[in-house]
Amino acid sequence: MAFSGNGDIYAGGFLKDTSGKYYIAMANSKVAGIEGTINPATHLDVYPNPANDMIYFRSENSIINGLLVVTDISGKTIRQEYINGGDNSIDVSSFPIGVYIVKLQSAKGIYIGKFVKE
């Protein structure tokens, strides 16, 4: 998973097209199905990274009634909850080892971060 300076998101893995060829997926804020605007300046600080038990995340704006969604690298939702405030934490001790994407959506925008669970 990689993020460019202009808001594009790139994901690699075992992605195949209909002909069986591997490819890298790319999405940006103009892709249908993504509500709001993804601005590279509105990322989430996620720490510690890698993590074992707890992750902490902080956005540059205080989030009120934000929807937090944690997905694994395949896009499967692992956890979803509503949060408030600028600094937050969640327990990831039960998560399998892997790479996770944290998406926080609020009226102020969409914030994206990632972390590795060891």
Integer angstrom CA distances of residue 101 from 33, 54, 112: 17, 15, 7
45 contacts 112 by C-beta, under 8 angstroms: no
Query: According to the model, what pLDDT value does residue 30 have?
Result: 44
Query: According to the model, what pLDDT value does residue 116 have?
Result: 92
Query: According to the model, what pLDDT value does residue 97 have?
Result: 92
Which pTM value belongs to this model? Answer: 0.63
Q: Which domains are seen in the chain, by residue range?
A: 36-117 (2.60.40.1220)
Query: According to the model, what pLDDT value does residue 46 have?
Result: 86
Low pLDDT (below 70) residues in the chain: 1-43, 60-64, 85-87
Give per-residue pLDDT as tens, 89-107.
899 999 999 999 888 887 7
